[in-house]
Amino acid sequence: MNKTGLTGLLLTLAFYAFAQPRLPKDYYWKKLPNGLELVVIENHKVPLATIEIAVKNGAYTEGPEYSGLSHLFEHMFFKANKDYPDQEKFLKRTQELGAIWNGTTGEERVNYYFTFDKDSLDAGLKFMNAAIRFPIYRKEDMEKERPVVDGEFQRAESDPGFQLWFETQKKLWGDLMTRKNPIGDHNVINTATPEKMMIIKGKYYHPNNSLLVICGDLDHEEAFRRAEEIFGSWENSGFKPEEKYPIPEFAPLTSTKYFVKESSLAQTPYVNYYWQGPDYRHDSAGTVIADVFSTILGLNASKLQQALVDKGLATYAGISYQTLKYVGPISIFVVPNPNKLKECHQELMKQIKMFGDNDYFTDEQLATAKQIMQRNNIRRLEKPSSLPSQLTYQWCSTSYEYNTDYIQNCMSVTREDIQKYVNRYIKDKPYVAGMIINETMNKAAKTSEFFTPDL
């Protein structure tokens, strides 16, 4: 084990600039003259190919007037374009290719992918090219899709867990909450126009802001050749989107905030605690340490699990961290015993104060957590069609090298690294705590008497 620890070792990765990035075995990289980056992953396990294109776009690019439109744009991707001028023709072509397809919108990435027989690679690349470069935003398609996207939002709102998340995000990010909320705003979604779709396309959908990944049972040189022939004419924007449309910095929390939200949907109370954690730009080492610490606390033998779950104060307690380029959140989510809400909260506060103690976890638990992370990584590598998505997420929010070195860097995390991480981001730091509970339970538990930042 590296006794010097991981702290500081990754800080330079944010500025890593090799002409040829370091990639895992059988990953091949090329950058076209128009700025489009290509990665081909040769994987011969099954006779399939997956094409994925990712764009550095998403909630973090959205002010209030555009909240949710990156998500709507993603939906419109699968409608009409120059080669397939209506959705019926688009869908017919996916059937002809035997394609499995989808797209996602997150905080810092929008991605689209197709998986099909390897012999359809050329046709698949042309299909992706038409959709990404030559969309047609027909008014009638917009009118049909707006309720679909808004319906996803409404379904989410029927989940008390989402309601709790939504309220905590408002308090965690303040005026910049829209830049952490991919699902958007009802009014913005329902009044979206084709013109606004074109604005998003003009800002972000350029080869110099995109990564094309091709993975499967194929030859990388041939894949590069075909991709360049098809995408090489895509015109560079002539500007860097992150410079022309800079992302505002998220203001640090200055005080701890508590709230209780009553909802008839909350048949079981949920509690969430959020801190502003590390981000890749300023503390890339911290993002790795956060994952190791979260894995330790997820062990059945951890002090957190023993204190809350084993003693009947909660049916679930977990800590997580989301790696992002712009301030990743740290979250503790608890499903407390409704009859022991006060005791559960007080015990959690006690545990958090001990997080940085030298004996809060054992050497064996640290080693076990690392083994779990290694096994999980092996499983992630077993499905070829998922490899492009894993890579594009890191490309958008971290770097190629971060992805390549991730497990190795996890193995280098020390007890001292974790203590520094806890003291920097969690212990005695401002946070947002929220509870969702129904009215009857709230009155019986008298949450206002204990669920406050003063106690």
Task: Check pLDDT > 80 for residue 10.
Answer: no
Q: How confident is the model at residue 199 (pLDDT cuts 50, 70, 90)?
A: very high
**pLDDT digits over 35-68, tens only?**
999 999 999 999 999 999 999 999 999 999 999 9
* Secondary-structure breakdown of the chain: helix, strand, coil percentages, each rounded to the nearest 5: 50, 15, 35
Query: What does the block give as tokens for 198?
Result: 């074109």
**pLDDT digits over 264-298, tens only?**
999 999 999 999 999 999 999 999 999 999 999 99
Separation of alpha carbons 17 and 23, rounded Å: 13
Predicted local confidence at residue 16, as pLDDT? 40
Across 109-128, average pLDDT:
96
Task: Check pLDDT > 60 for residue 190.
Answer: yes
Pairing type for strands 27-31 and 37-42 reads antiparallel
DSSP class per residue in 169-188: HHHHHGGGGGGG-TT--HHH
Task: Check pLDDT > 80 for residue 142.
Answer: yes
Q: What percent of the chain has pLDDT over 70?
A: 96
Q: Looking at per-residue confidence, does 3 or 56 come out higher? A: 56
pTM: 0.93
Across 401-414, average pLDDT:
97
Sign of CA dihedral 423, 291, 392, 183: negative
For 177, how many CA atoms within 13 A lie in the half-sphere containing its CB? 13
Beta-carbon contacts of 233 under 8 Å, excluding residues fewer than 6 positions away, are 34
Across 392-403, average pLDDT:
98
DSSP state, 318? E
Q: Cβ-count burial of 336 within 10 angstroms (0-12 exposed, 13-18 middle, 19+ buried)?
A: buried
Q: Which of 409, 427, 433 is nearest to 286 (CA)?
A: 409
Report the first-to-last Cα separation within the chain, whole angstroms: 41
Mean pLDDT (the chain) is: 94
**Distance, C-alpha 378 to centroid of its chain:** 20
Domains, the chain: 32-244 (3.30.830.10), 257-449 (3.30.830.10)
